[in-house]
Chain A
Amino acid sequence: AQTVTQSQPEMSVQEAETVTLSCTYDTSESDYYLFWYKQPPSRQMILVIRQEAYKQQNATENRFSVNFQKAAKSFSLKISDSQLGDAAMYFCAYFGNEKLTFGTGTRLTIIP
């Protein structure tokens, strides 16, 4: 079974600074998809970014980028120019075998 590990239960960053959230996963598959989701206090799950395992190029969405290391099974999220609205729980997720498996989440606090 696939497992997703987020080793940082909580992180904080000064507004306008950069923060990196870590995620590792375990799988025997070669073709899969990885995602980062954001869940603010409203509890709405919001898709932040996706990465296809067959692509070597790291995905980027505006201030959000990933560092995908397939051999190391690592998938970190970098948030640049952090804003107050970035405060949320961030979940790393792996899609394989027709299902999405989530990590335990990292609570990100933005310090004004």
Chain B
Amino acid sequence: SAVISQKPSRDICQRGTSLTIQCQVDSQVTMMFWYRQQPGQSLTLIATANQGSEATYESGFVIDKFPISRPNLTFSTLTVSNMSPEDSSIYLCSVDLTGSYEQYFGPGTRLTVT
């Protein structure tokens, strides 16, 4: 297993502002993933972030709204831009540690937009 941390753990933000969420892993991984979990809902994949290439976004998610950086093999950021109350969710990062398709998740960031 690995230790996966996220910062911040929670935040309350004003609409129209942006928040950058950090995900740090204590070992090098090729693939990192960002998910959104809206209140009372399941997890939805936002994008896959591989080091050295542009993130791949799922249908319904665009780079202008959710820009992602992946500067090295242990770190990634997700920015939620121009926030609205509908962006209030838990945002989780995950990693595929071994290439065995198992994903391990960070503790999540609870975002509330007012």
Contacts and interface: CB of A to CB of B under 8 A. Distances in A.
Nearest to B43: A102
Q: Tell me the dominant secondary structure on chain A's binding face.
A: strand
Contacts of A11: none
Interface in A75-112: 91, 95, 98-105
Interface of B: 33, 37, 41-45, 48, 58, 90, 92, 94, 101-105, 107-108, 110
Interface stretch (A14-22, A43-51, A60-68): A43-51
B92 A91 contact: no
Interface string A30-55: 00010101000011111100100000
A105 B101 CA distance: 20
B99 to A, nearest CB: 12
Contacts of A37: 105
A100 B107 contact: no
Contacts of B42: 91, 102-105
